[in-house]
């Protein structure tokens, strides 16, 4: 899972499935058709300029919990496995693997000849080092849960690793998409403070070049990459918090790829400039947007209050007014396209009368007739935090503000720059409510978000949700291999979480990316087009950057 700082129509991800979750984050959401084929030969050179509304936080990959950081890490690092274009696990740093003992043991056979960007050879010791850091309680990684289930980790030789689990673990193979880190550079480093976070060295198709905070991150192609030199020489990640500025950059071709807002997609790009120079796409994203409550706040500890807010917010109005229909109501914690999604869980209707009834039952009443609810002489007022650069979320918050006013709740909105939001408010639990999004893995394992043990700083259960029945089901889902049986487990998780309402589940929006048409070699697939980004190229006659 990844915290989403981009538009609500962003792509899906989960960092332990690095090639799906972060490997070319912007790119995986595209792929409805092949575009821009050229009769010219594939040529090395040029750059792709990608716009992001938020800056990265850290480039230590096992600490990267947000989409911006994970996007960059996906270019710089590799996992042992990745997904192919048909969403099937294939080797990455591992050439192959054997599964033994009814799924409890995996033996990975690693690629030989792979080198870190500084020239040092990649070996099994790097995998062991990464594993040890993932389970180190002093490392603030949100991904430890999947690796704490390992019973034995054995290095058979420099290129063979044997991993045995305490019990069968369904997501075991895919979990080793986690980026592998270099032992020789980090073995004596504090990963929470290391300078490596600003100048990473990996094995991936691109090497880190520079990072100017709040401005851009630049990568250059790895000519010795084990799958072949990428054709595009440079990847430039520009941080542009204002969507209007991004749109102007698209119009002048200062940006090659970005995500459009629904308004831009439906009304503002139907002109000669965009039809001539860009290909735009519409794609169902694998993630959702929600308002999460700080469950240590006494106001939100009463489930009647959380359920009342669910009745008070008109999600369809948000979808119609802000997304022009390019979104769907979701009841979470999965997306409607997932086999884990419980279609029998129906979204609560918009019912301000029922909302007021529940609030009154919880002790919140309009004692003085001024229209605002009070309890023990204190007005029901809270602040929701929203990240800068996401107009859809800000507009959603504004509509919710009006809707909650109808039932007597005063909701204030505070817009905060993305990295500050995560570092200063989310990780330190300094929030009352937050409007955010998750990018999800294709595997429905959501232990790291919902299990009550995952509430340490840097972990994903930052709202403080606890339900012992859900905890048990999350554990059961991890040790169940049969998909039909796993579906029963996750359907029950879905039902229980929706009843508890630790989040106000809002919508799953379509991804609306746009890409400059000079990029050729784009191939569609069930997973999108990012899987073959190293094969994208720009013909010499169309190259713009040296």
How many helices and strands, by DSSP H and E, does the chain display?
17, 23
| Measured distance CA(351)–CA(371) in Å, rounded | 17
In the structure, what pLDDT confidence band is assigned to residue 18 with cuts at 50, 70 and 90? Answer: very low
In the structure, what pLDDT confidence band is assigned to residue 185 with cuts at 50, 70 and 90? Answer: very high
In the structure, what pLDDT confidence band is assigned to residue 21 with cuts at 50, 70 and 90? Answer: very low
Closest CA to 107 of 160, 166, 169: 160
Q: Residue 524: its pLDDT value, please?
A: 65
Q: Residue 301: its pLDDT value, please?
A: 97
Closest CA to 278 of 511, 513, 515, 46: 515
Q: Residue 66: its pLDDT value, please?
A: 87
The helix/strand/coil state of 500 is helix
Task: Assess contact for 465 and 500: CB atoms under 8 A.
Answer: yes
Total number of residues shown for the chain:
546
pTM of the model: 0.82
Q: Residue 65: its pLDDT value, please?
A: 86
| Measured distance CA(121)–CA(457) in Å, rounded | 34
| Measured distance CA(527)–CA(90) in Å, rounded | 14
- Sketch the domain layout of the chain as residue ranges: 2-77+196-284+512-542, 90-186, 287-510
Task: Assess contact for 231 and 521: CB atoms under 8 A.
Answer: yes
* Residue predicted with more confidence, 46 or 53: 46
Q: Residue 4: its pLDDT value, please?
A: 57
User: pLDDT, tens digit, for every residue of 261-294?
Assistant: 999 999 999 999 899 999 888 877 888 999 999 9
User: pLDDT, tens digit, for every residue of 200-257?
Assistant: 999 999 999 999 999 999 999 999 999 999 999 999 999 998 889 999 999 999 999 9
Would you state the structure tokens that stand for residue 240, as one six-digit string? 């542009």
In the structure, what pLDDT confidence band is assigned to residue 24 with cuts at 50, 70 and 90? Answer: very low
Q: Which residues pair with 207 in a beta bridge?
A: 220
DSSP state of 48: E
DSSP state of 207: E
- Average pLDDT over the chain reads 90
Element (H, E) at 384: strand 381-387
Class of domain 90-186: alpha beta
Task: Assess contact for 351 and 311: CB atoms under 8 A.
Answer: yes
User: pLDDT, tens digit, for every residue of 424-450?
Assistant: 999 999 999 999 999 888 789 999 999
Q: What is the CA radius of gyration of the chain?
A: 23
Closest CA to 452 of 464, 444, 460, 442: 464
Topology (CATH level 3) of domain 2-77+196-284+512-542: D-Maltodextrin-Binding Protein; domain 2 (3.40.190)
* Residue predicted with more confidence, 511 or 47: 47
User: pLDDT, tens digit, for every residue of 477-534?
Assistant: 998 989 999 999 999 999 999 999 999 999 999 888 899 999 998 776 667 667 788 9
Q: Which residues pair with 85 in a beta bridge?
A: none
Would you state the structure tokens that stand for residue 68, as one six-digit string? 């911006």
Q: Residue 102: its pLDDT value, please?
A: 84
Q: Residue 233: its pLDDT value, please?
A: 98
Q: Which residue bears the tokens 């709202």?
A: 463
Q: Residue 34: its pLDDT value, please?
A: 38
Find the distance separating the first CA and the last CA of the chain, reported in whole Å.
Answer: 36
In the structure, what pLDDT confidence band is assigned to residue 37 with cuts at 50, 70 and 90? Answer: very low
| Measured distance CA(135)–CA(179) in Å, rounded | 14
Query: In the β-sheet with 94-100, what is the strand arrangement from edge to edge?
Result: 94-100, 105-110, 160-165, 150-157
CA 200 to chain centroid: 20
**pLDDT tops 50 at residue 36:** no
Among the CATH numbers 3.60.21.10, 3.10.105.10, 3.30.230.10, 3.40.190.10, which is that of 287-510? 3.10.105.10
| Measured distance CA(271)–CA(66) in Å, rounded | 34
Percent of the chain surpassing pLDDT 90: 76
């Amino acid at each position: 899972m990844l915290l989403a700082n981009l538009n609500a129509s962003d792509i899906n991800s989960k960092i332990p499935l690095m090639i799906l979750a972060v490997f070319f984050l912007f790119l995986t959401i595209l792929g409805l058709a092949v575009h821009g084929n050229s009769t010219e030969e594939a040529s090395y050179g040029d750059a792709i300029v990608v716009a992001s509304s938020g800056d990265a936080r850290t480039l230590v990959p096992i600490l990267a919990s947000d989409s911006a950081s994970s996007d960059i890490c996906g270019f710089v690092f590799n996992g042992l496995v990745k997904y192919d274009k048909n969403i099937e696990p294939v080797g990455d740093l591992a050439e192959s693997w054997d599964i033994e003992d009814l799924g409890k043991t995996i033996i990975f056979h690693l690629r030989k000849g792979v080198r870190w960007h500084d020239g040092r050879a990649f070996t099994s010791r790097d995998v062991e080092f990464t594993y040890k850091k993932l389970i180190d309680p002093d490392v603030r990684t949100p991904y430890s849960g999947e690796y704490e289930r390992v019973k034995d980790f054995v290095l058979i030789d420099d290129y063979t690793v044997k991993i045995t689990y305490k019990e069968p673990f369904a997501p075991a193979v895919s979990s080793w998409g986690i980026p592998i880190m270099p032992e020789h550079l980090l073995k004596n480093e504090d990963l929470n403070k290391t300078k490596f976070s600003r100048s990473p060295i990996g094995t991936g198709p691109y090497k880190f070049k520079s990072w100017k905070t709040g401005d851009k991150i630049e990568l250059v192609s790895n000519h010795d990459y084990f799958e072949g030199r990428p054709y595009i020489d440079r990847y430039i990640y520009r941080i542009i918090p204002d969507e209007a500025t991004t749109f102007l950059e698209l119009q002048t071709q200062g940006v090659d790829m970005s995500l459009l807002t629904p308004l831009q997609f439906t009304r503002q790009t139907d002109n000669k400039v965009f039809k001539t120079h860009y290909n735009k796409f519409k794609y169902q994203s694998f993630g959702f947007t929600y308002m999460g409550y700080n469950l240590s706040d006494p106001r939100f500890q009463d489930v009647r209050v959380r359920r009342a807010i669910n009745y008070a917010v008109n999600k369809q109005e948000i979808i119609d007014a802000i997304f022009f229909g390019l979104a769907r109501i979701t009841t979470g914690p999965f997306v409607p396209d997932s086999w884990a999604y419980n279609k029998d869980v129906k979204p609560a209707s918009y019912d301000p009368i029922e909302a007021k009834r529940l609030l009154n039952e919880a002790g919140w009443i309009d004692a003085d007739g001024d229209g605002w609810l009070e309890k023990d002489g204190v007005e029901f007022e809270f602040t929701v935090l929203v990240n800068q650069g996401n107009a859809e979320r800000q507009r959603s918050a504004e509509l919710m503000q009006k809707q909650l006013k109808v039932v007597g709740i005063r909701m204030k909105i505070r817009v905060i720059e993305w990295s500050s939001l995560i570092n200063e408010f989310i990780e330190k639990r300094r929030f009352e409510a937050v409007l955010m999004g998750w990018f999800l893995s294709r595997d429905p394992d959501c232990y790291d978000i919902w299990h009550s043990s995952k509430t340490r700083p840097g972990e994903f259960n930052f709202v403080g949700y606890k339900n012992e029945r859900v905890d048990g089901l999350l554990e059961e889902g991890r040790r169940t291999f049969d998909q039909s049986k796993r579906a029963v487990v996750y359907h029950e998780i879905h039902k229980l979480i929706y009843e508890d309402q630790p989040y106000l589940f809002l919508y799953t929006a379509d991804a609306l990316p746009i890409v400059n048409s000079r990029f050729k070699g784009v191939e569609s697939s069930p997973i999108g087009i990012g899987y073959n980004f190293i094969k994208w190229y720009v013909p010499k006659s169309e190259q713009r950057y040296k």
